[in-house]
Structure formats: C-alpha cells, structure tokens
Amino acid sequence: MALVENKRTLGAVLSAVACAFAVSAADAQDIDFGRQIYTESCAACHGASGTGDGEFANYLTIKPSDLTLLTKKNHGTFPYLDIFHIVDGRTGVRGHGSKDMPIWGTVFTREIGETGSPYGSELRIRTKIVALVDHIESLQK
C-alpha cells in the first residue's frame, strides 16, 4: 500500500483531497472525527475506552480485542499500518479471519458509495480509517 506508507504524506494528501472533494470542513478539521466514528461503529463491541467491554461483547463467541494494549503488545511502538490493515480488512497480511469483526473497508464503501470523483470513494474510506486508527492510537495505555 504505497498510499499509506508515510502517514504524514497521506495526511497531507487526504487534507487536500478533503477540500477538493468538499468533504465537510468540519469532518476534515475536527480532531474528534475519529472518536465520533469509533463511537458509532466500534464502541458497541470494543467499549468506549477500547478495553473490549462494549454491550454487544456478551453476544459474541470471540471476545473483542482490548484496543488499549496494542502499543504494549508491540514492544512500545503503536503498530499503525498493521492496525490500518486489520480495520480495513480488505487488504494486507492480516485480513480478517473472524466473522465476529466486520470488514470496515467494505462497510464504509457501502456507506459512502461512489462519489463520482476521479478516485471514487477510496480516499474518503481511507480518511475515515486513518481518523479511526489515530483515535485508537490515542487510547493506548
């Protein structure tokens, strides 16, 4: 994934794209964007603080991962790209093996639909995933 190799470059590209394609200014600039998507799409299973204690967790056969320990488990470095791929679920070495965890790349594709831009919905999908992974990074213990 050349596009996500460098987070800063990706951020700059996405900001430019967000303006160009009129993603709402609030979305592009709001630092709470990631937390908002997390609350809407992830907290039911992973819990508001990310520890895996969401309401829906009781109904799952596999317990949702504790998302606050990712840095600890990775020897003190947040595994950004790895988490990006896991959340996206369509790509990368760790695509989803579990039916209990939705493939968010596909879910967001459905939600966003085709935008009619030269890049289709892909950049907006990745903007959401970057915001989400930024938020997960902020939850690390």
Size of the site for ligand HEC (CB under 6 A): 22
CB of 118 to ligand HEC, least distance (A): 26
Considering only 1, 19, 25, 62, the residue that binds ligand HEC (CB under 6 A) is: 62
Residue type, 49: S
CB atoms within 10 A of CB 82: 15
Does 101 contact ligand HEC by CB under 6 A? Answer: yes
Does 83 contact ligand HEC by CB under 6 A? Answer: yes
Does 76 contact ligand HEC by CB under 6 A? Answer: no
Does 105 contact ligand HEC by CB under 6 A? Answer: no
CA 36/CA 8 separation, integer angstroms: 22
Whole-Å CA distances, 106 to 16, 82, 88, 122, 129: 24, 17, 8, 11, 12
Does 42 contact ligand HEC by CB under 6 A? Answer: yes
Q: Closest Cα to residue 106, out of 41, 49, 54, 62?
A: 41
Does 137 contact ligand HEC by CB under 6 A? Answer: no
